[in-house]
Amino acid sequence: MTLDASSRKEKLYRLVVVSFGLLCILQAAANIGLRLSLYSSNARMPDFEAIIKNLTEEGEDLKRKLSLFDRYFQEGWVYLRPSFYYISSSEKSWQESRDDCLQRGADLMIINSKEEQEFARQFKRLTWIGCTDRETEGVWKWVDGTAVKTSFSYWHNGEPNSYQSKEEDCGEIKYYEDENSWNDEPCNKKNFWICEKVVAQ
């Protein structure tokens, strides 16, 4: 990575952390305002003890979130709301790739938006994604058990095809120049992979 790109990444990271912090402060201020206005309309003393306890809990929650964000940025994950993504720099089989993601507290990437599809294509690499028809031939499922919908998929023209009647049970991004870039491949092939960790809805 160039110095310029690295400093841009650093600035972007700072901007995300500062914006997140400001948002939380605003939210806390709005909470106080709302609570005070409720109390004054009820014409009784606010329960300051409860308010402070609540704010302390919110503060602790914010600290936990910030340190999680910090950890993921340091480890080189990329944030695209609501998930962090990890792009491998080595190649493994589909299952080994999935195991790597699971060890990182994540799973192989599930693509369920156009933004995610564009995000996955931009690396211009053969990458495993989290779909397979290993359980039942022709029934494609994401790693969270949900179906790969025919109404929302990016299979390349003619795919998935279990090419030459070989077992092609794992999904990859292959034709990355094309929006419809998915292909089915034998799961033991070595590819790069993308892990996804959902952090906020």
Which of 145, 136, 143 is closest to 169 using CA atoms? 136
169 is a contact residue toward ligand 2F8 (CB under 6 A): no
Q: Which residues of 148-171 are buried (b: 16+ CB within 10 A; e: fewer)?
A: beeeebbbbeebbebeeeeebbbb
161 is a contact residue toward ligand 2F8 (CB under 6 A): yes
196 is a contact residue toward ligand 2F8 (CB under 6 A): no
Task: Report how far apart, in Å, the C-alpha atoms of 73 and of each of 9, 12, 51, 146, 197 are.
Answer: 10, 11, 33, 29, 13
184 is a contact residue toward Ca ion (CB under 5 A): yes
Q: At 178, list the tokens.
A: 């094309």
169 is a contact residue toward Ca ion (CB under 5 A): no
* Residue from 97, 133, 140, 168 in contact with ligand 2F8 (CB under 6 A): 168
Contact 186, 169 (CB under 8 A): yes
CB of 119 to ligand 2F8, least distance (A): 23
Contact 128, 194 (CB under 8 A): yes
* Residue from 116, 133, 169, 185 in contact with ligand 2F8 (CB under 6 A): 185
Residue 153 contacts which entry, ligand 2F8, Ca ion, none (Cβ below 5-8 A, type-dependent): none
CB of 184 to Ca ion, least distance (A): 4
Residue 158 contacts which entry, ligand 2F8, Ca ion, none (Cβ below 5-8 A, type-dependent): ligand 2F8
**Which region, judged by CB under 5 A, interacts with Ca ion, from 69-77, 109-117, 139-147, 162-170?**
162-170
Instruction: Tell how strand 78-80 and strand 182-185 pair up.
Output: unpaired
93 is a contact residue toward ligand 2F8 (CB under 6 A): no
**Helix (H) or strand (E) run with residue 116 in it:** helix 114-121
**Which region, judged by CB under 5 A, interacts with Ca ion, from 103-111, 119-127, 131-139, 166-174?**
166-174
